Structure 1
Amino acid sequence: MQCMRWIVSVMVCIGLFCNYMLRIHIDFAITQIVGNSTNSSTVHSQYDWTPLEKSWVLGSFFYGYILLQIPGGRLAEKFGTRNVLGISMLGSVMVSYLLPVLAGWSPWAVVAARIIQGLLLSPTYPSIPPLYVKWTPLQERSRFVSFSYSGSNLGPVLTYPLCGVIMDNFGWEMVFYTTASLSLIWCLAWFVLVSESPETNRWISQDELDFIVKNRDEGKIQNNQDGVEPSLFKIVLEMLKSPKVWVIMAYDLAYCWGLYAFLVMGPTFINSIATHGEENKYTQNALLTMMPFLAKTVCSGLFGILSDFIISKGVKLITAQKIFASLTLLPPALALIMMGYLTSEPLFCVLVITAGFAFAGATGCGGIQNIMLQAPNRSGTFLGISNGFGNLSGAITPLLANWLTHPDSSWDPILGWRLFFATSSVLNVFAAILFIFFAGDKQQQFDTF
């Protein structure tokens, strides 16, 4: 088979889509889980959770999610992306099947389950860069990475409308059963089709194997001279001593903060400002919420093609990465500020954030690629550190939004939303400046011992 590397890319893309389904299905379903409205054709359970309980349910995933980022990346380097990603996804599927039952017990049972689900999905993103290093020719890497990561953009694009249709017709419980079943199908296909490297793949042709092996590394990967693997603690400590690592950590924190500001709180924000009738309300809200992520998905692939093109014309890798990192952070910063002042026009508000989030699709050509440039040997551990740090925002943003927008707060909720989105804008600008002036372009010392 001549296109096995692209089949692997498609499988990663679909896997990240399923990953996002499992992490965000509750963000939209909770708009029906909590409350007292009913659908004309379906009677479904609803619960009187307090705003604080609701915010804990929304943020609890990330308390588990940040814990195994670093070990997950290291596990993938040692035991393979195929095993780490496949097993973590399979475990999360099982938890999703249990969530409707646990919701009937207590919101705190859901919190506990979501922490476990976050723990299970924690290794997924850090586990992927080692697979990229083995499977991607250097001249195709921007397209490969951008396309693969577009699956995380497709998550909100398809999950929110799917949730809306299901909730309008069958009730919120079916949201969890449906998303879990689709993800289970992916797990089975993953273990059948994907191998850890092209050398061990049963489906690949010899010509494609030779092409990948010849072009993937360009001498970047170095092996340990004495054959002794350093401890994870030593690797992490050396990484944290590097200012270049902190630049990527700041980039990841800003990117994730802006993403979760809209991804986790977006359905609640849209629900609070949109005005429409009761009929098909969840489908309408879902369509509004998905628009920014649809734009991000489309532009992710376009940015990948553009990045490979300008690099082929002689632009340095680090220069291209700084350009795309800036595009990832600065337009969304402006859009989030504007969003808070357009609450009287929900559609126009969403159009503005859609335009801003389209540029966030450039991240696959910016910060993520920079990690593989600086640490091809330990890209999983590196991403584990930065992604774990960045995803602290997922635990903080629901609590911050609840504090700023709660009806009993001392200021108007609209002002609270403006302050909430402004925090993301400030972080984005700060991180973009750091990346432009201080991002590294050499293989780091912690990657060579």
Structure 2
Amino acid sequence: MDEDSETQKLLNGSVESPLNALPRAKATKLQQKPNSRWMPSCWFIDCLPCIRARYVLAFMLFLGLCNVYALRVNLSVAIVQMTAEHPHHHQRSFDWSSSEQGWVLSSFFFGYLITQIPGGWLATRFGGKYVFGIGVLVTSLLTLITPQMAYLNLWALVACRVVIGFFEGVTFPSMIAMFGVWSPPLERSMLTSIALSGPYIGNVIAFPLSGVLCETMGWPWVFYCFGFAGIAWFIAWLFLVSNTPAEHPRISPKEIEYIESTIQAEILTRKATPKRPPPWKYILTSPAVIAIAIANFCSNWGFYTLLTCLPTFLKQTLCLDIKKNGFYSAIPYLCEFIVALGWGQVTDILRQRRLVSTTVIRKVNNTLGLCLPALFLLLCSYYGTNTLWAVVFLSLSVGSIGFTVSGFPVNNLDVAPKYAGVILGFANMIGTIPGFLGPIVAKQIAKEPAVGACGSECNDPLTVDTYQQEWRLVFIIAAEVYVFGAMAYNLLGSGKKQPWAEGYIDTDQLDDNTKSFEET
């Protein structure tokens, strides 16, 4: 695809788009740089024309999601030192019971649940740049005061984490809203994949770095360092990103024309489609939608349980020091990133060559991404009694979740493309519930004895054996939930457009039209 040549044809009027080329007056207007009274004039110079503004946006979203996941999981490692009998650097520790630790770890998701659906509306109303940016900024500022909230009392910390989750909840919906005005249809999968790599890399960075910070500087610095990193990202975000291509001070006129001409076809197609309220009755009673929600819930049960409690498990059953704990906790999420990236490409090839139907590939992906994690969790619960095998089985379990990336998360586009956003919001709300239920259940089962968790009892076989039996039950419950999700999806799931989803935008046909336009 030659973006420059196609755009030049549009600007010259020699080629007309399938839905009529943009008026020449608008094309001329697009060539003018936006004005700003507070930015220096040199800021508008296109110094690096080879770097497209939409790719800068995708990269900044990648870094932003790295930050929000680091801000989310840093407590999972820090709490190991916060509740230790003798924390490093003589930092204050807290005598929290296992159930209280469960409330601290799960509190984030209470706030996160609330803003899943409003986040998309706010981004549409006020601009994704400000909603996403403010979400990360406030999360970072609250992370900086997290140690002070912990010193105040337990419930002040819980309240702080709830508010952190509240502001972080707008990030993913606002990201989707920004791509709606920035990403050409044929590049949407690629740009979204770049941004969605952020959470994986954020986990891989946050776990080991948190362990190093706890050991070398003390647990409060886990929150200080990640908080300041989020603020630094926000400053760069303000200067490098704009709400729309037309508002961007450094974008080339050719790129503006290319983005807006391709998206214009999509917008006009939506306007030509009669607006109807979402058919809630059919959505909430559709077996295909229920299957998506159940699979989301069941997949996230094991995922969130390990995301919040994995460092605690490694401490209690293997007595790892905080530095090794952080490094070993990161390995499973690196495996998940590799599987998700590689298997997503395989899935696309299978669909493009029409080797299997959409329904079959969705069910295969969900079966692999739910049953394999269950199998490896069970193996870890019985045979993960040393560091090597525990890390191997946990890495295989979390890594296998990557198969679901091309399963239920994108199935909403198959069953009802017109209402995909509504279904996504509904399924994500259901899928967030395990975020606060999973850690609470895990901490209720894997309770610490009256004596400290990682003191002299680390060498006590009886204590370690007790922990292993308790975590075995936690993993068995997670495995059962995984298997239930696979069975429910295979019974109810579908890759076909549902009868009540008429009047939808056919994304494949739209992409074909865009390809024809490019070949003109």
- Say whether the fold is shared (TM-score over 0.5): yes
Corresponding residue number in structure 1 for 2:339: 299
1:262–1:4 Cα change, 3 Å: same
Q: Deviations over 1:80-128 (max 9, x none)?
A: 4333222222211121111111111111110111111111112222333
Q: Take 2:200 and 2:136, find their aligned partners in 1: how far apart are those partners?
A: 18
1:97–1:403 Cα change, 3 Å: same
Q: How does 1:50-449 map to 2 (within 5 A)?
A: 50-198=97-245, 200-205=247-252, 208=255, 223=270, 230=277, 239-275=283-319, 281-315=321-355, 319-374=360-415, 379-407=420-448, 412-436=466-490, 438-442=493-497, 445=501
- Amino acid paired to 2:212: V
Q: Take 2:74 and 2:313, find their aligned partners in 1: how far apart are those partners?
A: 16
Q: Deviations over 1:282-311 (max 9, x none)?
A: 111111111101111223322333333333
Q: Take 2:95 and 2:281, find their aligned partners in 1: how far apart are those partners?
A: 46
Shift of 1:149: 1.8
Secondary structure at 1:47's aligned position in 2? coil
Structure 1: give runs of 5+ residues left out of the alignment: none
Shift of 1:326: 3.3
Secondary structure at 1:439's aligned position in 2? coil
1:23 aligns with 2:72: yes
- Amino acid paired to 2:485: A
Q: Deviations over 1:20-57 (max 9, x none)?
A: 11111111101111122133xx2211122222221111
Q: Take 2:470 and 2:402, find their aligned partners in 1: how far apart are those partners?
A: 27
Percentage of identical aligned residues: 29
Structure 2: give runs of 5+ residues left out of the alignment: 1-48, 451-464, 506-520
8 Å contact from structure 1 (residues 82, 194) kept in 2: yes
1:362–1:138 Cα change, 3 Å: farther
Shift of 1:376: 5.1
Shift of 1:198: 4.5
Q: Take 2:273 and 2:399, find their aligned partners in 1: how far apart are those partners?
A: 47
Q: Deviations over 1:362-400 (max 9, x none)?
A: 443333322344555554443222112111111111221
Q: Take 1:166 and 1:286, find their aligned partners in 2: how far apart are those partners?
A: 10
Corresponding residue number in structure 2 for 1:48: 95
RMSD of aligned C-alpha atoms? 3.2
**Which range moves more in the overlay, 26-35 or 182-191?**
182-191
**Which range moves more in the overlay, 215-224 or 121-130?**
215-224
Structure showing greater Rg: 2
Q: Deviations over 1:166-219 (max 9, x none)?
A: 111110111101111111122222333333454654444455556556767996
Shift of 1:258: 1.5
Q: Deviations over 1:289-348 (max 9, x none)?
A: 111011112233223333333333335555544443333323212111111112421221
Q: Take 2:265 and 2:229, find their aligned partners in 1: how far apart are those partners?
A: 38
Q: Take 1:199 and 1:244, find their aligned partners in 2: how far apart are those partners?
A: 39
Shift of 1:12: 2.0
Secondary structure at 1:61's aligned position in 2? helix
1:256–1:303 Cα change, 3 Å: same
TM-score, structure 2 as length reference: 0.75
**Which range moves more in the overlay, 357-366 or 282-291?**
357-366
Q: Take 2:325 and 2:503, find their aligned partners in 1: how far apart are those partners?
A: 46
The higher-RCO structure (CA 8 Å, 6+ apart) is 1
Q: Take 1:399 and 1:96, find their aligned partners in 2: how far apart are those partners?
A: 22
Secondary structure at 1:344's aligned position in 2? coil
8 Å contact from structure 1 (residues 326, 432) kept in 2: yes
1:333–1:31 Cα change, 3 Å: same
Task: Count how many residue pairs are aligned between Structure 1 and Structure 2.
Answer: 439
